[in-house]
Amino acid sequence: MKQDIFQAIADPTRRAILTLIAIQALTPNAMAEKFDMTRQAVSKHIKVLNECDLIKPEQSGREIYYHFNAKKMQEFDHWLAQFRQKWEIQFNQLDELLANIKDEKQ
């Protein structure tokens, strides 16, 4: 099943990971050290973040560095902007309707 961005960012540890790698790409080992977690626990979080494209792996020598994928976050913001616009259209329609009803009553 496709991972859910909402679920991915609902977890405080994953938010902390994203905040950190937005500044600098990190290896799983470096993350485990920074958050005082086991490698297994870090791998689980990486899996969730990776499956919804919020982070991107990049091989560098023998190490894998994870980068923050800002583009994915932008896509998400774009959906929300569309949703906002839908409401704007509807509310403008309601303005007209309310004005018409008031005119009829007068």
Partner 1 sequence: MNSNLLFDFNVDKEAKTVYITREFAASHSLVWDAFTKAELLDQWSAPAPMRAKTKFMNFEEGGRRFYAMISPEGHEYWSIHQFTSITPKANFKTYNTFSDEHENPQLPGSDWNYAFSENEGKTTVSITIYNESRERLEKMIEMGFNTGMTATLQNLEELLATLS
Positions that interact with partner 1 (CB under 8 A): 2, 4-7, 9-10, 15, 76, 79-80, 82-102
Least spacing, CB of residue 12 vs partner 1, in Å: 9
If one counts every other C-beta atom within 10 angstroms of the C-beta of residue 1, the result is: 4
Least spacing, CB of residue 22 vs partner 1, in Å: 15
Which is closer to partner 1, CB of 12 or CB of 61?
A: 12
Nearest to 55 by CA among 79, 29, 20, 10: 20
Which is closer to partner 1, CB of 62 or CB of 86?
A: 86
CA 15 and chain centroid, separation: 9
| Encoded amino acid at 72, one letter | K
Which is closer to partner 1, CB of 29 or CB of 100?
A: 100
Which is closer to partner 1, CB of 62 or CB of 84?
A: 84
Distances (CA, A) of 99 to 96, 102, 105: 5, 5, 10
Least spacing, CB of residue 9 vs partner 1, in Å: 6
Strands 55-60 and 63-68: antiparallel
Q: Which residues pair with 56 in a beta bridge?
A: 67
Least spacing, CB of residue 47 vs partner 1, in Å: 17
